[in-house]
Amino acid sequence: MNADQITEINNYFWNYFLVYLLLGASVWFTLRSRLMQFRLFPLATKLLVHSRATAEDQKHGISTFQALCTSLASHVGTSNLAGVAIAISLGGPGAIFWMWVMAMLGMATAFVENTMAQVYKTKNPDGSFRGGPAYYIEKALGQRWLGVLFSLCLISAFGFSFNAVQANSVSASMAAAFSLPEWLTGGCLLVLSGLIIFRGIKGIASFAEKIVPFMAIGYVGLAITITVLSIDQLPAILSMIVRSAFGLDHAVAGGTGYLVSQAVAHGIRRGLFSNEAGMGSGPNLHAIATPFPDHPVTQGLVSMFSVFFDTIVICTSTAAIILISGVPYGVEGQTGIVLTQNAMQATIGDFGKPFIAITTLLFGFTSIVANTYYGESSLRFIKDNDQWVTFYRLMVLGMVYWGAVGSLPLIWSIADITMGFMTLVNISAILILSRQAFWLLDDYEKQYRAGLSPVFYRGNFPHLDKIMDRNVWSAEKRKKPLSSPDF
């Protein structure tokens, strides 16, 4: 099967099925939660600020802040640089509008899946946790075979395809900026990735906590500077994005329906690839954290911030750089990371290409180490065996090198199709389980409005109490809520 055949399957799967499923689920979660991503976003931000305050039992795991940073390490990757460029090239500027829509709706989806991951997480012998969609599919739905299928899709998508995509973008940017051969970039990525991923999740989380805030703030700061210097172009660019999203440009009126469908499909596809809301990847990390305050909803609320920051902040920054620069895109222009580099060079001069190359290296590298853990957690669900994990890590490193020297269209197409299948499984599961997330949200909000620091007492939820692990969210520690909020 070649790249064209895979692309045809992708187009059918996304344009005629998965787009509507994602939008429908996200709209339902938004309405059912009474627009919680808008109502509770200030609270989610407040929780994030205090999320480094860890409880005593977090010495065996990671903090909410570390889980968020590690999740962002995967989200904030080359998809924010290359993926946005591809969305604009294939779907026009209107694709950015649909990326925004998907992000705002997807925040509710992220809340549901990450709250469920906290409820159904599993405790390891060393006191740490692991969890994710495979775990809540098995425990809550009683369908281990479906959990295994999801795990296989995730390993294929994140451990292999997405890591190859990240490496491909890094090698392309380094070649364009410094004329480095792909084999050399691939070899360096292989070695550096190996040094981090063999340290396990605590090493990955510690690395992400230090690197992610630094690299994200630096990139956004430069994008804001470019936007301010070209502020006179901003109204026209915003108008172009909105008009393109709805096919209102007179010059293309003859193909309006097709162009709008392309904007929607590529905007949602690239938006999902970027922020991963509903895909089922983030819950593998958010399940690990011990939330503060001590309630599953805490982690669900904080997880919304990663979707917002990834798409609304980082992806918009890339789109602004490309559209302000005026460089050609689409059939007549470049695409992928090269388009972003050319746009940066056009706006800030010769410094542009090296800056994007270094940014891509940091974004891509952090994504590789975080993606590897996603696959590792899923592998341990299938069979918790250290030898299997070691073999998996070695295969990941092989895919990183192959991605660095491989073909961009084929790699992106494989990533799209594996992402689509795992998203289908996860969305189906959380649509069934979403009512449980909303039970917990109501409990959380009642305690918060009463002036309490929300605490989860599993005895108040008999249905959940029967199917959750007995050594997770133990009832003895949660009989009396705190008297006042700690945040």
pLDDT tens by residue, 79-101: 666 677 777 777 778 888 888 88
Question: What is the model's pLDDT at position 432?
Answer: 93
Question: What is the model's pLDDT at position 210?
Answer: 66
pLDDT at 478 over 50: no
Pairing of strands 129-130, 122-123: antiparallel
Question: Looking at domain 3-451, which CATH architecture does it have?
Answer: Up-down Bundle (1.20)
User: What tokens appear for 394 in the block?
Assistant: 């070695």
Weakest mean pLDDT among 106-120, 347-361, 368-382:
347-361
Amino acid sitting at position 265: A
Share of the chain above pLDDT 70, in %: 76
What is the distance, to the nearest Å, from the Cα of residue 217 to the centroid of all Cα atoms in its chain? Answer: 18
Calpha distance 362→358 (Å, rounded): 6
Most confidently predicted of 95-104, 253-262, 407-416: 95-104
User: What tokens appear for 190 in the block?
Assistant: 């292989």
Question: What is the model's pLDDT at position 107?
Answer: 92
pLDDT at 411 over 80: no
Give me the phi and psi of 183, to 5 degrees please.
Answer: -65, -35
User: What tokens appear for 52 in the block?
Assistant: 């480094």
Give the model's confidence band at 53: pLDDT under 50 very low, under 70 low, under 90 confident, else very high.
very low
pLDDT at 239 over 80: yes
The SS3 of residue 121 is coil
**Whose CA is closest to 322, among 406, 206, 233, 197?**
233
pLDDT at 452 over 60: yes
Helix (H) or strand (E) holding 219: helix 200-229
User: What tokens appear for 12 in the block?
Assistant: 């059918």
pLDDT at 479 over 80: no
pLDDT at 247 over 90: no
Span 222-231, average pLDDT: 78
Asked if residues 395 and 159 have their Cβ atoms less than 8 Å apart, the reply is: yes
Q: Is 92 exposed, middle or buried (0-12, 13-18, 19+ CB in 10 A)?
A: buried
Asked if residues 264 and 256 have their Cβ atoms less than 8 Å apart, the reply is: no
pLDDT tens by residue, 145-165: 999 989 988 898 888 888 888
pLDDT at 63 over 90: no
pLDDT at 468 over 50: yes
CA dist 27 to 37, 301, 353, 414, 466, Å? Answer: 12, 17, 39, 28, 30
Question: What is the model's pLDDT at position 416?
Answer: 72
**Residue 153 CB: number of other CB atoms within 10 A?**
25
Cis peptide before 293 (omega within 30 of 0): yes
